[in-house]
Every structure is written in C-alpha cells, then in structure tokens.
Chain A
Amino acid sequence: MDPLLLARLQFATTTSIHFLFVVVTLGLVTLLVYLQTAWVITKKPAYERLTRFWGTLYVINYVLGIATGIVMEFQFGLNWSGLSRYVGNVFGAPLAIETLVAFFLESTFLGMWIFGWHRLRRGVHLALLWGVALTAYASAFWVLVANAFLQNPVGYEVRDGVAHLTDFSALLTNPTLGMAFGHVVSAAVLTGGMLMAAVSAWHLIRRTADYALFRTSLRIGLVTAMSAVIFLLGFGFAQFGPVGAVQPIKYSNDAAAKSALIADWTARFGPGDYNPPPLAGAALGFMILIGMTLVWGVFLLPLLFRDWIIRLRFPLYLILLALPLPFVAVILGWIAREVGRQPWAAYGLLKVSDAVSPVGGGMMLASLIGFSLLVGGLAVANWVLLARHAHRGADDLALGRPPETDGARPDPVPEPVLV
C-alpha cells in the first residue's frame, strides 16, 4: 500500500484520539482551578469533594492525553522525516519549547498534585494545580504556534534547500495563530463544561443521594459551557478573514486569488491537484452546525433560577444528549483545518508526498495497525473507566483520600518503619 496514505491515516488517527482527550484535560483543569481555589478560600468541605470528584475524572482522562502525546511527538521523526529535514530549524523550535516549558512541568506538577493531598501545605498544593493549568494552556499555545507555521510558513528563509529561522516574532504573530488559539481554548472549556454538566445531569436524573454536589456542578458546568460557546463562535468566525487571506483555497470565495495561487504553485511545483478534498468543506459545515446548535443552550440558563432546570427534568436529558456534540465538533474542526491544507505539509513550501519518510509500505502498515489498535484500545478502556467513575459518584474517592482512614479499601497499608 501507499506509505503516504498510511502515514497520513496514522497521523489522523493518533491526532484525533489525542485531541479528544486534551480538550477535556484543558477544559476540566480550568474548572478544577476554580473549584480548588474556592475550597482553599472558603474552606467549605463541599468544594473539597467537588475537587476530588472532578479531579479523579481529570486524572483518568489525562492518562491517554500523555500516552497519545508521546506517539504524536515521535511520529514526526518516524513518519515525516522530510518535514524535520526541510523545516525542522523553524518548526522544531516551538515544539521543543512546548515540551520543555509546558509539558515537562505540567506532568511534574500533576504527579505532585495527585500525591500531595494531606502531605503538602494547602497553598502549595493549590499552586501546583495552578501550575498544571497554566502549563497546559502554554502547551496548547506552543503546539498551535508550530501548527500555524505549517498552515502559513513565516519568519524563515530557504538557504541551501533548507528553511532557516529569521524572525521568531513572526511565528508568534502568525495570522493563522491568534484566533485559532482562542477558538481551540474556547472549545476545550466548552467541552469541559459540557462534560461536567452532563455527568451532573445523569446523577440528577437518577436522583442519587448527592443532590447538592451535583446541583452545584451542573450550574458551574452549564454557565461555563455557555460562556465558552459565545467565544467559540466569535473566534471561529473571526478566522475566516485572516485564514482566507493566506489560504484562499481553503475558506475564501475569491476566485481570482484561488486561480492566482494555483498558477503560482503550478509554476513552482509542477502541475497537480491543489484543491483540498471536499471532506474539509463538509467538516467545516457540520462543525458550524454543531456550534449553532449548542448556542441554543443559553436559553437553559434562565432555568437555573429556582432550579427549574432540575425540576422540569427535560433540560437534564437535553444536556445529556448533547454531550457527544462538542467531541464530534473538535474532530470536524481538526479535519477542516488540517485536511483543508492538503496537499501541503508546510503550506506552499513542502508537499506531504515529499515530507513522508522513506519507509516501506509494509512497515508503515504494521505501524498504523499496531498503533491504532493500541491507542484505540487504551482509549476505549479509558472511557469505560471514566464512565464507571462518573457513574459511581463522589463517595470514597481514591484521589485525596486521607491516609489514616483505611475505608473500604481492601489493600493493606504498608507498616511504618524507620520512624
């Protein structure tokens, strides 16, 4: 089989799965920062329980984010060595910064946060969560800096057949960066809020004992999601201008600009099909449709008054049914942005066919099947565990359990020595 197609499929598979987990990571950590800060300030035990419950789901979800993230990073070298060879001097820098500034610290902080309950001082423990959140946002930013360069290469010059960095600030002011970052962050916060509201709705529908806890998180989740959806649409539509200007074939209706660009590419790279696949446009349309659907949720906000949203019950079902929508939309958004720039690995600079590693079809197929099964299987296992823990509710959580009370835990605690 064609190694190029296989390499693209592998990238699409791992990225999509990665994206499904990182939007939840980014969204939930934002809400956790609110919950734990509220706990430290007000000292109300309700906020501690909320932090522990949503923290448990956050930490389970984080597992696949990190696992797929590792695959993503190595995939560039494994399958796309032409990319690092040609634009690595420019494209590699933001990715290196992402791993060092953001991801490295994020995981270090998170490890201490998970095990730091009852061990570190409250302020330090809260600061760790703030650190996790800030580095998570930094991570999203630097990944998008790298992606924006591939969408619209800037700040470089080609010498001896290799791109060299000339202006780093141009990478940061890339017209395909700013609005896209706002859009992705809004999508993440929306998804986190929707997840929180939907899980709470599930418990309220089933009338579990924890009414007060899930009432609070329903309100927080819904208000967050509906605030985010406004920004989501704003940043989304704001992208048409700048992206249309640099990628007229993707979103613009300017026929003259399109044909001029195709003529330019044909002159430089030879004749070929430079139109993006129709899939990209279809994905864009459906994504906008989902956004427009979710925005109707703002009409649920007045129902928060006197808990009508819970008493009427049908809004709870609506929230539950809407949960898959943001996940579908982020995949569609990825397709619109990334498939929409085909056939380019770096727009107008390097085609995907020149970027793919000279690895044989058989090897690439084995790698695709292996990674898809592994990552897909782990993703399903992860979702099952997430669903079970969401269903189980906030009683006897492992995260933040005080060490003295052994609870219903079957494991014996190690005996103290060397005291």
Chain B
Amino acid sequence: METVWYALLGLFFAAYLVLGGYDYGVGLLLARDAGPAQRRESLTALGPFFLGNEVWLVAAAGILFGAFPMLEGELLAGLYPAVVLALFGVIVVTAAVQLRSRPASDRARGRWDRLVTAGAALAALGWGAVLGGLLQGVPLHADGHVAGVGHVATPFAAATALATVALVAVHGASFLALRLPGEAAERAARTGRRLVPVALATLAVAAVVGALSARVREAVQQPYPTVLLVAVLAGALLVAGRALARRRHGLAFTATALALAVPVLLVGAATWPYALVSTVDPAASLTVADAAASGPTLRLLSWLMAPLLPALLGFQAMCWWAFRGRIDGRTPVYW
C-alpha cells in the first residue's frame, strides 16, 4: 500500500510539474512578447487552466502530509532554502497572473507581468533544486533530523535548477504553439525550437555534474534506470524539437509534457527503495515504507481516494475539454 501511495504522490507532483510547468513556461516567455497585446494573448491561452494547474501542487503536498508525514517534515525542512525559493515563486506567479489585468493601465499591467516572469523563474529554479537536492541526498542523522541547510547549495542542485528552467520554457513554448492562433503559434514554435538545444545543453551539464559528484553517485541506488530515464528525457526533447519544426504541435506538447514528468520518475526510481537518502549515515536513510503513515491512516485515505480520484481527474478533464482548441475572438478574456 505504501508503494501505491508513493506512486500517487509521484503522479500528483509530476502532474503539477507538467501542468504548472506550462504556466511557468508561459510566464517566462512573457519576457519575450513584444507588447501588451501579445502578453495578454499568452495569458488568455493559459486562461481557465491556470487555477486548476496550480492545485496539483497543493494536492501533492496534501498527500505528502497525510500519507508520508515522516518524509514531509524532513524533506521540506531538509531542503529549506530550495523549498522556500520555489514557494516564493509559486506565490508570486499565482497572485500576479490573477491580478495583472485588474489595474486598467498598461504600465501597471507591465509591472505585474514582470512579476509573473520573475515568479515563474523562481518557481522553476526552486523545484529544480528540490529535485536535485533529493538526488544528492541530505545529511539525515540517526535521530531522524536533517542538520543544517548548507548542503543544498551544490553545483549539481544549481545545474538541475537551471535545467528545469530551460525545460519549463520549452514546455511553455510548445503549449503556446498548441493554443495560440496563426502567426502567434508559429512564433511560439520558433521560440520552442530555439530553446530545445539550450534545454539539452543544461540537461547534459546537469548529467555530467551529477556523474562527477561523489554525493550523487552514492545517493543513486539504481544506476541503470537512472541513465535510461535521462536518455528518455533527452529523447523527448529531441522529439519535441522535430515535432515543432514539422508543425505537429500536439506531438511536441506531449513530448515536452513527458520531459517534465520524467524528472519525478527519475528521482523516485534512482533513490528507490529510499524516499530520502542520507549522506552521513546509510542506516539513517528513510525508506518509502518507513516514511509512510501507519496502516489505519493509509487505509482511511485509500477508502477516500478510490472514489475520489476518478472525480478529480474527471473534473480536470472536463475543464480541458470545455476549453479545448486554439483561442479565438470568442475566447473569454480575464487574466
């Protein structure tokens, strides 16, 4: 049962990175848009999905708290600076996207748009550093607590943070290519195509830095799946680049979505059977089974989740279906 819940936690966090990822990607690409009209168009493309995307993070945190209370405390407190960075970004984006169109002047809206971009960059950097931090392990002591916060700041965490920003930007571009009309879609696709090599380069840097880091080598328990998943990630990016060039925007979006889901799977698979690897005392590493809540809590949550999960996915799917297709003159404009 712990494994199922661990998979569910991974599913929700991966869904957040995929869905929230294009929110942040669109936010980053606002910096590229020439004028207020273009920026508004990008945000209109995000439109009805934005709120429904951000809640996957809250739901993932809920599962982390309810089903993995041991992991929750140590993971968040252990990666304190990275998590705080990500949260800052998430809050700024969440507030700025929703508030940017409430003032009437273009200048005020422009200022909010810069906040959207800054928040998106912070959120992507923060979650990238969290994923990197999980891959390099934390100084978890036998008393169950993580000592200090300096261990997060490594070249590897910085590399994964930058790679995540690049991934998110490509993903945002492929989303815009899928949602924007005509020439705007072409422009987004061109941006995406140019960003693919950048994302591949940051990914390569992260992979090399990781392979050279003794901490990462020790923390990774399953080397073969790890290498395989890194290859899948690179492959997804290559497919996305090709698809954008051939105007197959649906395929490109699927590929970049995969590229954002893979890192979560990668972290989960690489450290398996541990949820949190200790760098100081191998015996103190937290296994998935030990991190999980006790039997009665998991049973209660399972009874709840069995009927609920289809409803959650159903209502999200309803949102995607009701607002599918490219935006046009009849699309409601609010953000």
Contact = CB atoms under 8 A, between A and B. Distances in A.
Interface of A: 59-60, 62-64, 66-71, 73-74, 76-85, 88-93, 95-101, 103-105, 107-112, 114-120, 162, 164-166, 168, 357-360, 363, 367, 370-371, 374-375, 378, 381-382, 385, 388-389, 398-399, 401, 403-404, 409-419
15 contacts: A64-B95, A68-B91, A70-B57, A107-B58, A108-B316, A111-B49, A114-B51, A360-B149, A398-B334, A401-B332, A403-B331, A413-B329, A418-B181, A418-B326, A418-B328
B72 A115 contact: no
Interface string B44-83: 1001111110111111011111110110111111001101
Contact of B62 (A63, A98, A118, A166): A98
Contacts of B146: 358
B69 A374 contact: no
Interface residues of B, number: 86
B251 to A, nearest CB: 17
A165 B294 contact: yes
Contacts of B329: 403, 413-416
Contacts of A80: 73
B301 interface: yes
A381 B80 contact: no
Given A84-B70, A415-B181, A93 B147 contact: no
**Closest 9 pairs (CB-CB, A-B):** A88-B69, A96-B66, A81-B73, A99-B62, A77-B76, A111-B51, A115-B48, A416-B328, A417-B181
Contacts of A79: 77
B145 interface: yes
B328 A414 contact: yes
Contacts, number: 275
A295 to B, nearest CB: 35
Interface of B is mostly: helix
A63 B98 contact: yes
B11 to A, nearest CB: 13
Given A73-B65, A97-B66, A111-B50, A385 B58 contact: no
Nearest to A168: B300
A114 B47 CA distance: 9
B228 interface: no
A67 B57 CA distance: 12
B297 A165 contact: yes
Interface of B: 36-37, 40-41, 44, 47-52, 54-59, 61-67, 69-70, 72-77, 80-81, 83-84, 87-88, 90-92, 94-95, 98-99, 101-103, 106, 144-149, 180-182, 184, 293-294, 296-297, 300-301, 304-305, 308, 311-312, 315-316, 318-319, 322-323, 325-334
B48 A77 contact: no
A104 B95 contact: no
Given A78-B80, A97-B66, A411 B59 contact: no
Contacts of A359: 77, 80, 149
Contact of B76 (A74, A82, A120, A360): A74
A403 B95 contact: no
B65 to A, nearest CB: 4
Contacts of A108: 51-52, 55, 315-316, 319
Contacts of A70: 54, 57-58, 87, 90-91, 94
A131 B55 CA distance: 16
A360 B81 CA distance: 12
The residue among B51, B72, B328 with the most chain A CB atoms within 10 A of its own CB is B51
